[in-house]
Structure 1
Amino acid sequence: MGDTQDWTAAPGAAERARSVLATAWSCAVTADGVREEYVGAHTVTGPGQVRLAVPEDSALFAAALCAPRQEPAVLLEFADVAPVPVRSRIRARLWLSGWFAPAGDGLLLRPTRVVLRQSSGPVVVDPDEFGAARPDPLAEAEARLLTHLADAHPDAVERLTRLVRPESLHAATRVAPLAVDRHGLTLRIERTRAHGDVRLPFHAPADDVAQLTERMHVLLAQTGAAGCPRALQRQRADGDG
């Protein structure tokens, strides 16, 4: 199901791509027909280059060194997985292509093509913009923040649904926090056979966790002026019966 809530300020494609890269723990690497999965083996340099620690006797290392330099020969794939269990848990995929060069005890990828795919579709990101961008300031804390919100404050999540349009909550069976960035919080609205996402914007960007706490308090304060959504009212009535 598509979004029915208006989308407001959100990270740009380059920033979102850098956030995916900064928080991903694993990646799939394809070079000259060889595909391997690596966990905890990559690090990111300042300009968006990726250093991958691989054994010198691996097939990937040999394939990368022998690949033609005239065209992209290596493809790295990263998945952005929602920290809170929801339907369709992969929020985005990031593909980086280019070629590897030996670097210390591993290989260094200088991306020549960057593609970010989100629910809205794929976007080609300019490599220079990708290199100059920085991850969202909340990216590394996001998993901890969202799981804490979902596990310790389900009442707050329910209150936040008062800020969602009633039509977006029609036939909702579950609401969970899906994502948070400096510009806002995204909720996943699940139904029996479908789902949709709605975004609750902050009144100002949050550059750290302290500012995020203040922004969340403002959102929760706004719920006091909003009535309980009819969809949830019906769910409560059905449950009480």
Structure 2
Amino acid sequence: MPSAAERTRTLVQSTCSAVLLVPGVETIRPEQLSPQARVVGPDGEVFLLFPAESPAVRAATHAQDDELSAVLEITDVAPVSVPHRIRGRAWVSGWLTCAPGIAEPGGMMIRLEVGEIHVDDLWGATSVEPDEFARAQVDPIIAHEAELLQHLHSAHGEQLQELCGLLGERARDAADDDSATGGRARVVPLALDRFGLRVRFTGARCFDARFDFPEPVRDITELRRAMHTLFEAASR
């Protein structure tokens, strides 16, 4: 399974929605506190791009060291329609300073020196040490995950349904529950990473199932092979 540090680093550098919470900074437009871009530096600091006149930049302009605390809150929402759609949240707290000279004219990069990190996602809730976060790698599938899940959902419904056969008695119990209510459990792809595929069975009983790949994949080519192997096993 991906480590908590890897999961958090992946969320920070993904396209998930994020908001920077700065004590004392309020705005009538919440989007003004959403960074336009996020990147993690070599020492684990998080650089956030904002318009030069944003409230966050104004607050950080004269801040030094640990004078201005803030929390970067990230919310991960499944890219397909599914019950309980929020897949996770992460909170990266620390101290803000401006990093002039990095952004293009009209923008300003803010540096968030990381102090504490917490993640609450499909794997569970835990804290992450800043040095572990700094060393962690981003999941190589994240840049393509949303597109791949949407494709699986729209074009491979029957193959996803066949995954029930790999769950044994658990799937049969869910099928019995749905037949008793006159319905049929629906299988929705929920998450995809280098280690495997997670789907959500929806119906009278809603539960997740995880299908691990034989070995972690490193790119899209290896992912396609792993998915082919998984669907082939489910069709037998």
Q: Same fold (TM over 0.5)?
A: yes
Give the length in aligned residue pairs. 215
Runs of 4+ deviating beyond 4 Å? 65-72
RMSD of equivalent CA atoms: 2.2
Q: CA offset at residue 93 of structure 1?
A: 0.5
Q: What is residue 103 of structure 2 aligned with on the other side?
A: none
Give the one of 172, 187, 211 matched to 2:199: 187
How far apart are the structure 1 equivalents of 2:68 and 2:127?
15
- Check if 1:201 corresponds to 2:219: no
Task: Give 1:25 shift.
Answer: 4.2
The two structures have a TM-score, normalised by structure 2, of: 0.82
Secondary structure class of the residue paired with 1:84 = coil
1:156 corresponds to which residue? Answer: 159
Q: Distance in 2 between matches of 1:64 and 1:165?
A: 56
Take 2:77 and 2:57, find their aligned partners in 1: how far apart are those partners? Answer: 28
**CA drift at 1:84:** 1.3
Task: Give the structure 2 partner of residue 75 of structure 1.
Answer: 71
Q: Does 1:50 align with 2:46?
A: yes
- 2 CA distance for matches of 1:162 and 1:176? 15
Do the aligned partners of 1:25 and 1:39 also contact (CA within 8 Å) in 2? Answer: no
Q: 2 CA distance for matches of 1:87 and 1:33?
A: 35
Alignment deviations for residues 11-64 of structure 1 (CA, whole Å, 9 cap, x no partner): 110111111112134311111232544456122034343222224443322333
Q: Post-superposition shift, 1:72?
A: 6.8
Cross-structure match for 1:122: 125
Contact 1:32 1:67 in 2 (8 A): no
CA contact (8 A) 1:81 1:89 kept: yes
Determine what percentage of the aligned residue pairs are the same residue.
Answer: 36
- Alpha-carbon distance in structure 2 between the residues aligned to 1:190 and 1:224: 21
Structure with higher RCO (Cα < 8 A, 6+ apart): 1
1:97 paired with 2:93, answer yes
8 Å contact kept, 2:66–2:95: no
Q: Alpha carbons of 1:40 and 1:65: their partners in 2 closer, same or farther (altered >3 Å)? A: closer
Is this contact kept in 2: 1:180–1:186, CA < 8 A? yes
In 2, distance between residues paired with 1:81 and 1:182? 19
Distance 2:228 2:123 in 1: 29
Q: 1:67 to 1:118 in 2, by over 3 A?
A: same
Shift of 1:83: 1.1
Does structure 1 conserve the Cα–Cα contact (< 8 Å) formed by 2:46 and 2:113? yes
Instruction: Give the counterpart letter for 2:8 in structure 1.
Output: A
Match of 1:24 in 2: 15
Structure 2: segments with no counterpart, 5+ residues = 101-107, 179-184
Measured against aligned partners, the alpha-carbon deviations of 1:158-205 in whole angstroms (never above 9, x if no partner) come to: 12221123324613532101011111110111124x521110111111
Q: Which residue of 2 aligns with 1:113?
A: 116
Cα distance in 1 between the residues matched to 2:187 and 2:18: 29
